[in-house]
Copies of this chain bind each other. A is one copy, B any other.
Amino acid sequence: MDPVAPVVAALAVLLLAGKFGGEIATRIGQPAVLGELLVGIVLGNLSFGGVAPFQALATNETIEVLAGIGALILLFGVGVESTVAQMLKVGATSLFVAVLGVIVPFALGWGVGAWLLPDASPYLHAFLGATLCATSIGITARVLQDVGASRSPEARIILGAAVIDDVLGLVILGTVAGAIGAAAQGLPFSVISVAKTTGLAAAFLVGALVIGTTTAPRLFAAASLLHVRGVLVTVSLSLCFLFAWASSLMGLAPIIGAFAAGLVLEEVHFKDFVDRGERSLGELLRPISELLVPVFFVLMGLRTDLGAFATPGALGLAAALIVVAIVGKQVCALGVIVPGVNRLAVGIGMIPRGEVGLIFANVGAGLTLDGAPVIGPSTFSAVVAMVVVTTMITPAALKWSLARGTRGKAAIQQSGDA
């Protein structure tokens, strides 16, 4: 059979299931993304006499890459809707929000580990703390887009903080993982490697934004001289892909590069294209998003094994982790120093751990110390439960908080009018 055939069959199943779930969610007033996640969880946990027909979709490598490209396109699109100038305006707030949102959950997660698993190694406690740090920007970005609030100040604070969070979270993950690796080999803790990770991350983001903002206008002015069709979408997506690749080279998540690429692109750069009757970049990206973004969310649902909740001890640990994951990020609201911003929405927007939490837990499951994995099966299920619950409660809670705050209402209206 042609290798393309099973992949497109899987894509069709994911797309149709996602639309079905999205429709139900939309009908009951929830964001479509929640329906896509839930339909994925249902499909992933369907089993007929021991046969789970949709499990294979969750482990197909090509589908995984397509979902990953979907996450890049989503973050790129969100970035395109903001400008660097707007991000700098909320930059100090985002930084405070992010730092609080990393320190507090890390400490709380460590504490929960020390309290409920007192016999485990302190490295496990530190690792639990690390899984609570990073904010999954994808869920929040989609909800903000679904409710039409992706240009509001809350959106910029949350997205800016989530980017900084990812960087800080990855630094903590790298530090803890590096310390475990060193301990496994009997080596001492290395301050130099920590400093290197941090320095690279900061240098990449600053460099990408500076180089991007200075070269983008000239790049698109040059591109607009080409006669061939489809230049705008090709050049923009290539920029997104190259930034994503570069951020991965620096040891960061590719979505950070994609978001940075989106930030440096502004509608004014595409004026030449739009003036001659072509569609704007936002419109060109929409069909590509419709093809790839739902794949990411349905796949995240598919990978959620509800059976993990049945592991002994997992429920108690899961409950404690869920509580500190939610409470820990509410401290973020204290970091909001801009007046008139819906603080509750900012705190809630930081809750979801999504794919980042899962990636962290996966890294922990792969590390061994004294012959056993640092994150064992029952701890892993508890982390998965925390990720699922924080991811699932966010859409409804964020939508509610945005509608509740008068500032939020104004923001939605303003963005709807724009």
Contact = CB atoms under 8 A, between A and B. Distances in A.
Contacts of A5: 244-245, 248-249, 254
A253 B244 CA distance: 34
Interface string A1-38: 11111111101100110110011001100001000000
A52 interface: no
Q: Is the interface of A mostly helix, strand, loop or mixed?
A: helix
Interface string A262-288: 000000000000000000000011111
A15 B254 CA distance: 19
A17 to B, nearest CB: 10
Interface in A58-99: 61-62, 64-65, 68-69, 71-72
Identical subunits present: 2
Nearest to A293: B230
B227 A65 contact: no
A72 B3 CA distance: 13
Given A62-B65, A254-B2, A11 B241 contact: yes
Contacts of A23: 226-228
A403 interface: no
Given A1-B249, A2-B254, A12-B242, 19 more contacts: A2-B253, A3-B65, A4-B71, A5-B244, A7-B68, A8-B72, A8-B240, A8-B244, A9-B242, A12-B237, A12-B238, A12-B245, A15-B241, A19-B228, A19-B230, A22-B228, A26-B227, A233-B290, A234-B294
Interface of A: 1-9, 11-12, 15-16, 18-19, 22-23, 26-27, 32, 61-62, 64-65, 68-69, 71-72, 226-231, 233-235, 237-242, 244-245, 248-249, 253-254, 284-291, 294
